Structure 1
Amino acid sequence: MPEYFYADRLFNALERVDPEPGMLLVSAPGMYSPDFARTVVLVLEHDADHTLGVVLNRRSEVALANVMPGWEELAAKPQAVHIGGPVSPESAVGLGVTHSGVDISSSPHLNRLANRLVLLDLNATPEDLAPVVEAIRIFAGYAEWAPGQLDDEILRGDWFVTPALPTDVVASAGADLWGDVMRRQPMPLPLFATFPANLEDN
């Protein structure tokens, strides 16, 4: 591991929060793995057996209309498929932000993650979801951790855990989601908001 990987000292100096569905995993400045450098991962499931999540800030060049016609009408711009992670890239994961005042517990096609942030049942139709969902994002694939793996990575300082905002899932094309999430954290994390994915680019 390179000597510049100092995140164990940076992140471990902060108050530790346990991951749970609806929380964000924010990759450490200088994340060693290129697959997760400057990524923001939304946790979908976390228990003793495994952890599942989707990377929120990796957009593909594939238009959503080309692979799931009709769903683009609900999608936030840019209306492209996003890359949720390296596992099962042929599978689709749908996330959405509900309209204000929607009773998520009474909607059979929604699974609450946090606030107005929901996991979508993609067996539903866009017409089923339109009355309750303000905007959606579709992800190809997901990230997965084996039992204890994520806990070890957090202990090492690879990830910072923080609550998600609904707007994190539907961020605009020009947004730097990693930097934006870092800037709203306690000091000293905002100081690293412009940390490059590749140190050679600095």
Structure 2
Amino acid sequence: MTEVSSLTGRLLVATPALADPNFDRAVVLVLDHDDEGSLGVVLNRPTPVGVGDILEGWAGLAGEPGVVFQGGPVSLDSALGVGVIPGEEETPSGGAPRTGSRDPLGFRRVHGAIGLVDLETPPELLAAALGSLRIFAGYAGWGPGQLEDELADGAWYVVESEPGDVSSPVPERLWRAVLRRQRSELAMVATYPDDPSLN
């Protein structure tokens, strides 16, 4: 079995066989994965609610579309900020991972340039550093071993994330785009019809 923490920062891409309507064609960014469970956000579920309608101070920093995304079926009444601070990698060349000492107040690096934004922090403290920001209502959560069981059942493809995935301007195309960029047979899955019965 692979090391448990290796899923943090990666994408879970729903397979066409995944039957749960909460995750139909979902692309989930894993923010935390350890022996106590997993937490992530669905990157491709925009809502009609504008960021300014609930978090006015953050509206100017949220990328297009400037709406709140449904991060998953858990805690829909809570908001979670995921941002990208470009230019700094998690591990400098030839060295150990950075400890985060260069990260601005209110930003906790998760993987590479991607991190969590503390929405209680005054937005102006992060404005200059943030390359992109997305606000999520709720999250996707799995108990201990639950995600591993779903992976064993073939419910998810696990692929590498790219910082641009967090702020895709056309989130409804993200499922196909992520699969299409894979250098394997997964690229063919991107052509899978929305409704196989119409094929």
Q: Tell me whether the two structures share a fold, i.e. TM-score over 0.5.
A: yes
Instruction: Provide the rounded CA distance (Å) in 2 between the counterparts of 1:156 and 1:23.
Output: 19
Partner of 2:196: 199
Name the count of aligned residue pairs. Answer: 187
Kept in 1, the 8 Å contact 2:45–2:171? The answer is: no
Partner of 1:80: 67
Give secondary structure in 2 for the equivalent of 1:160: strand
Partner of 1:177: 174
Residue 115 of structure 1 deviates from its aligned partner by 2.0
Partner of 1:97: 84
Kept in 1, the 8 Å contact 2:44–2:171? The answer is: no
TM-score normalized with structure 1 length: 0.85
Partner of 2:92: none
Partner of 2:184: 187
Partner of 1:157: 154
**Superposition CA RMSD, Å:** 2.0
Q: Which amino acid aligns with 1:185?
A: Q
Q: Which amino acid aligns with 2:19?
A: Y
Q: Which amino acid aligns with 1:130?
A: A
Change (3 A) 1:66 1:32: same
Kindly indicate whether residue 11 of structure 2 is the aligned counterpart of residue 28 of structure 1: no
**Runs (5+) with no aligned partner, structure 1:** 1-15
Q: Which amino acid aligns with 2:121?
A: A
Query: C-alpha offsets along residues 98-151 of structure 1, whole Å, 9 cap, x if unaligned?
Result: 142598532231111222111111111210110211110000000111111100
Q: Which amino acid aligns with 1:51?
A: S
Partner of 1:136: 133
Instruction: Provide the rounded CA distance (Å) in 2 between the counterparts of 1:47 and 1:81.
Output: 27
Instruction: Provide the rounded CA distance (Å) in 1 between the counterparts of 2:183 and 2:72.
Output: 27
Kindly indicate whether residue 30 of structure 2 is the aligned counterpart of residue 43 of structure 1: yes
Kindly indicate whether residue 115 of structure 2 is the aligned counterpart of residue 118 of structure 1: yes
Change (3 A) 1:128 1:162: same
Instruction: Provide the rounded CA distance (Å) in 1 between the counterparts of 2:133 and 2:196.
Output: 33
TM-score normalized with structure 2 length: 0.86
Q: Which amino acid aligns with 1:36?
A: F
Partner of 2:94: none
Instruction: Provide the rounded CA distance (Å) in 1 between the counterparts of 2:106 and 2:138.
Output: 20
Residue 201 of structure 1 deviates from its aligned partner by 5.5
Residue 30 of structure 1 deviates from its aligned partner by 2.9
Give the % identical residues. Answer: 42
Kept in 2, the 8 Å contact 1:30–1:37? The answer is: no
Runs of 4+ in 1 over 6 A off after TM superposition: none
Give secondary structure in 2 for the equivalent of 1:70: helix
Kept in 1, the 8 Å contact 2:12–2:27? The answer is: yes
Q: Which amino acid aligns with 1:117?
A: I
Query: C-alpha offsets along residues 32-91 of structure 1, whole Å, 9 cap, x if unaligned?
Result: 111111110011111111111100000000011111102111011000000000000000
Kept in 2, the 8 Å contact 1:17–1:161? The answer is: no
